[in-house]
């Protein structure tokens, strides 16, 4: 009897021994190791610049100096706080979140509900957009016009393609190049002569048509591909456009680019005006185009077309089964996005007066996608904010960190943002719901993707 008891006890203790994990594998300590690793990484990130004479120089500097200990103390401190003082902190954080979130959420709800308030806010934003820039320094005016506004226009265009129709387009910036080179061509600044020389204003409709046609030509054979295949094809398309611009010297000017491209000007009913290198006039022009595009697109979003796009994005097969002509609507989204990109290209080219192929590297297509997701795809205020924030950030970082490290911080920010707030800064309601459903395993967030790797 007792022998049986002991043997049972033995088995039980053996089993519990098997179940017990070594102390260093307990969750608390794995978290500690993670924080230590993070501390070391932080020390490397904030350390000195290395050089090729001695590739160990920077490693040595940041792994032996006091910097390492500061970083380790910081991360281990965070760990200790989270492990041993988590309840009070969590309570405080939750309270703070609720305090901030409730009025924010309430405001959002009211915005969505109350039409008058909504229009009032839109009007206010517009007035601010017209007034505030004149109070900025010329540097920030330049950043605002040359980069933020151009990318905002692009982001609105890409939002149609990816946010509404759900097509993963990694070659969006190629159409910007098409618009830019159209401008150079029609103003007579390329090695090939145009049939007639035009004012940049007249190039806009031409560029829209050119980009529409290019978009259709690319889209028609490839849009039956889905998800990642479409991504790689559009990426390849961008690479081809970029390399043709660079290599076809006789047509595009090759690496030397095109210069002396005229500014916008009009001479109508006795009123003459030429946009110059001053940023503000171009700002008003860009605001005009951005507002125009927003108005057009938001009308589309709530029309039959917009609903068809949503259906395609959420489930293409179901949409097709319900009689949505998926190919036609996908092509339409693709071409509309492309022509927006082209318009941005025209304005850019005319503003700068000069282009070369290095303005259109593949990286730009990837970056613009990041802007849209970062802001919150599907929502126009979201993508505007995303483009503004991510274009502004590297310029602002110039004053604080080594110039060459700026994109390292941008990369880190993207990763952190995607982990903690994948829906973006200002997500569209529908998108938020889709993401939530995906998290709960009820459906897919995009037609292009089931959740990756299943659920662990």
Partner 1 sequence: MVVGALALTGCGDSGGGDGTVRIAFQGPLSGDNVALGENMQNGVKLAIDQANAKGDLGFELEYVASDDQGLPDKATAAAQKVIDDESVVAVVGPAFSGATNTASPLYAEAGLVTVSPSATNPTLTDPKNNFTSLLRGVPNDSQQGAGMATYYAKKLKAKKVYLIDDKTDYGAGLAGVAEKGLKAAGIEVLRKSVPQKTPDYSATAKDVVNSKSDALIYAGYYQDAAPFAKKLKEAGYKGAAISGDGTNDVKFVELAGDASENWFLTCPCTDATVEAGTKKFSADYQKAFNRAPGTYSAESYDITNMIIEQLRAAKGGVEREPLRDALAKASYKGLTKTFSFDENGEFKGTDVYLYQVKGGKIAYQGNINQLAG
Partner 2 sequence: MSLQEFWDYLVLGVMLGSLYAVIAIGYTLVYGVLQLINFAHSEVFMLGAYGSLIVLQLLDPGDNPSALASIGFVALAMAGSALFGGVTAYGLEKVAYRPLRRRGAPRLIFLITAIGASFFLYNLAGKLFGRDPMTLPEMYDNHDVFSVFGAGVNITQVLQFLTAVVMMVGLDLLVNRTKLGKGIRAVAQDAEVASLMGVDIDRVISRTFVIGGVLGGVAGFLFANLNQVSYTMGFIPGITAFAAAVVGGIGNIRGAMAGGVLIGVVETMTVPLLGDEWRSVSAMVVLILVLMFRPMGILGKQVGRAA
Binding site residues, partner 1, CB under 8 A: 51-54, 57, 137-139, 141-143, 146-147, 246-247, 249, 254-257, 259-260, 277, 348, 352-356, 358-359, 395, 398, 402-407
Choose the contact partner of 16 out of partner 2, partner 1, none; CB within 5 to 8 A by kind: none
CB 260 within 8 A of CB 353: yes
Instruction: Rule CB under 8 A: choose which of 14, 107, 243, 291 binds partner 2.
Output: 243
In the bound state with partner 1, the residue whose beta carbon lies nearer, of 381 and 394, is 394
Alpha-carbon distance of 316 to 159, in angstroms, equals 18
In the bound state with partner 1, the residue whose beta carbon lies nearer, of 177 and 383, is 177
Q: Which phi-psi region, left, alpha or beta, contains residue 401 (left: φ > 0; alpha: ψ -120 to 50)?
A: beta
- The window from 49-57, 67-75, 113-121, 143-151 that contacts partner 2 (CB under 8 A) reads 49-57
Alpha-carbon distance of 220 to 215, in angstroms, equals 8
Alpha-carbon distance of 40 to 422, in angstroms, equals 26
Does 435 help bind partner 2 (rule: CB under 8 A)?
A: yes
List the structure tokens of 333.
């989204």
CB 215 within 8 A of CB 334: yes
In the bound state with partner 2, the residue whose beta carbon lies nearer, of 270 and 441, is 441
Alpha-carbon distance of 397 to 392, in angstroms, equals 9
User: How many residues lie near partner 2 (CB under 8 A)?
Assistant: 74
In the bound state with partner 2, the residue whose beta carbon lies nearer, of 78 and 240, is 240
Which residue has 């009913």 as its token pair? 269
Extract the runs of DSSP E, i.e. beta strands, from 217-313: 265-268, 271-274
In the bound state with partner 1, the residue whose beta carbon lies nearer, of 246 and 313, is 246
Does 94 help bind partner 2 (rule: CB under 8 A)?
A: no
Does 286 help bind partner 2 (rule: CB under 8 A)?
A: no
Angstrom distances, CA of residue 407 to CA of 338, 414, 423: 27, 10, 22
- The window from 50-58, 141-149, 263-271, 274-282 that contacts partner 2 (CB under 8 A) reads 50-58
CB 447 within 8 A of CB 313: yes
Choose the contact partner of 256 out of partner 1, partner 2, none; CB within 5 to 8 A by kind: partner 1
Instruction: Rule CB under 8 A: choose which of 83, 239, 314, 395 binds partner 2.
Output: 239
Choose the contact partner of 403 out of partner 1, partner 2, none; CB within 5 to 8 A by kind: partner 1
List the structure tokens of 158.
């890409």
Choose the contact partner of 45 out of partner 1, partner 2, none; CB within 5 to 8 A by kind: partner 2
CB 34 within 8 A of CB 76: no
Q: Interface residues for partner 2 in 208-237 (CB under 8 A)?
A: 221-222, 224-229, 231-233, 235-237
Does 55 help bind partner 2 (rule: CB under 8 A)?
A: yes
Rounded to a whole number of angstroms, the minimum distance from the CB of residue 256 to partner 1 is: 6
CB 233 within 8 A of CB 167: no
């Amino acid at each position: 009897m007792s022998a049986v008891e002991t043997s049972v006890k033995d088995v039980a203790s053996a089993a519990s021994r098997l179940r017990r994990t070594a102390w260093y594998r307990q969750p608390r300590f794995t978290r500690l190791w993670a924080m230590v690793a993070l501390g070391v990484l932080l020390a490397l990130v904030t350390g000195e610049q290395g050089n090729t004479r001695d590739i160990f120089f920077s490693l040595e500097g940041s792994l032996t100096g006091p910097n390492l200990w500061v970083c380790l103390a910081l991360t281990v401190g965070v760990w200790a706080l989270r492990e041993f003082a988590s309840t009070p902190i969590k309570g405080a954080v939750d309270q703070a979140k609720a305090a901030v979130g409730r009025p924010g959420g309430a405001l959002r709800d009211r915005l969505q509900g109350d039409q008058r308030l909504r229009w009032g806010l839109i009007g206010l934003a517009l007035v601010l957009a017209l007034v505030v820039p004149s109070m900025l320094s010329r540097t920030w005016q330049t950043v605002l016009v040359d980069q933020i506004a151009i990318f905002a226009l692009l982001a609105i265009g890409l939002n149609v393609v990816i946010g509404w129709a759900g097509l993963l387009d990694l070659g969006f910036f190629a159409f910007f190049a098409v618009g830019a080179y159209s401008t150079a061509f029609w103003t007579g600044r390329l090695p090939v002569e145009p049939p007639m020389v035009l004012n940049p204003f007249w190039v806009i409709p031409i560029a829209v048509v050119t980009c529409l046609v290019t978009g259709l030509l690319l889209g028609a054979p490839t849009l039956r591909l889905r998800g990642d295949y479409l991504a790689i094809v559009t990426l390849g398309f961008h690479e081809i456009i970029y390399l043709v611009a660079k290599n076809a010297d006789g047509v595009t000017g090759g690496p030397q680019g095109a210069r002396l491209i005229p500014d916008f000007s009009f001479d109508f009913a006795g009123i003459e005006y030429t946009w110059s290198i001053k940023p503000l006039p171009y700002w008003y022009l860009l605001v005009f185009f951005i507002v125009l595009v927003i108005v057009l697109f938001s009308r589309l979003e709530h029309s039959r077309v917009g609903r068809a796009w949503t259906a395609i994005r959420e489930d293409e097969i179901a949409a097709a089964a319900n009689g949505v002509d998926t190919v036609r609507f996908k092509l339409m989204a693709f071409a509309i996005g492309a022509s927006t990109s082209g318009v941005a290209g025209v304005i850019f080219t005319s503003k700068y007066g000069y282009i070369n192929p290095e303005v259109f590297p593949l990286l730009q297509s990837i970056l613009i996608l990041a802007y849209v997701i970062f802001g919150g795809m599907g929502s126009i205020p979201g993508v505007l904010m995303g483009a503004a924030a991510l274009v502004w950030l590297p310029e602002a970082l110039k004053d604080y960190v080594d110039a060459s490290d700026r994109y390292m911080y941008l990369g880190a920010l993207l990763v952190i943002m995607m982990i903690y707030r994948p829906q973006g800064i200002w997500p569209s309601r529908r998108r938020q719901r889709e993401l939530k459903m995906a998290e709960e395993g009820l459906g897919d967030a995009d037609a292009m993707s089931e959740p990756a790797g299943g659920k662990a």
